[in-house]
Amino acid sequence: MSVPIDQLRLIFDHYPGGWGCLDRASRYIYVNREFARLVELPDAQAIRGLSPADLPCPAATFSDVFRVQDMKVQRNRRSMQILDIHPDSRGRMHAYLSQKIPLFDEAREVIGIIFHIRPLPVLDVVSLCLQQAGSENNFSISRLLDNGSLEPENSGNWQEMTRREREVLFFLIRGNSARQIGERLSLSHRTIEQYIGFLKHKLGASSKFDLIKMAFDRGYANKIPESLFLQQVSVELVV
């Protein structure tokens, strides 16, 4: 069944942010003008049939990561919230909150993905979203974005951690294995395991599970290492 473009266009062209849809092979079917602007395309119509790897912006280098996300959304038939940090063609870093939603036909078969991307201009808004991702309360991301910033009362020894330890803990909290973290940070998984050992010692954790639990208890889930804003990131938020 074909994608109902005319119906989707009414949504994409009316609401704020970058909107669009992909087919099952992660090829663009339609995007609005705002998304075209974000990926540095002069014409939204020119993107039809292209894949993320074909985009003229630096985020194109993350096309393999985007494809894995798309396949997970299709396979699980559930939406996904993503924190994206990418540079523009001038090298300036930008943070975005993205959502990918499975698109169903009348027979409830997945025929593609709807996506929405919203720029995050301030760090404390991102931090607030990430705190919710580690919270036991199931409030929506959109509800939190309407509120103010929030900082943990007990930041513990966050400042005592090295830059790498903060980066490792950030990805560890979000369910990444040592090998996955190593791939993100261009380090060996053995080196990542060493950093995890350092973190366990600093926080007094007896296991990796205890380390993650203590990190949530101390409010580290709403912390983004500043160094991550100097490199590209596309990481799923657990909501």
CATH of the domain at 66: 3.30.450.20
Checking if the pLDDT of 101 tops 90, the result is yes
Last residue of a domain, one of 102, 120, 138: 120
Question: What DSSP state is assigned to residue 56?
Answer: S
Number of domains in the chain: 2
CA distances from residue 91 to 55, 125, 184 in whole angstroms, order as listed: 16, 22, 19
| Same domain flag for 127 and 113 | no
pLDDT tens-digit profile of 186-204? 899 999 999 999 999 999 9
Q: Give residue for tokens 């709403």.
A: 222
What's the pLDDT score for residue 160? 83
Identify which has the larger pLDDT, 167 or 231: 167
How far is residue 41's CA from residue 52's CA, in Å, rounded to a whole number?
A: 12
What's the pLDDT score for residue 3? 63
| Same domain flag for 190 and 91 | no
What's the pLDDT score for residue 145? 35
| Same domain flag for 99 and 131 | no
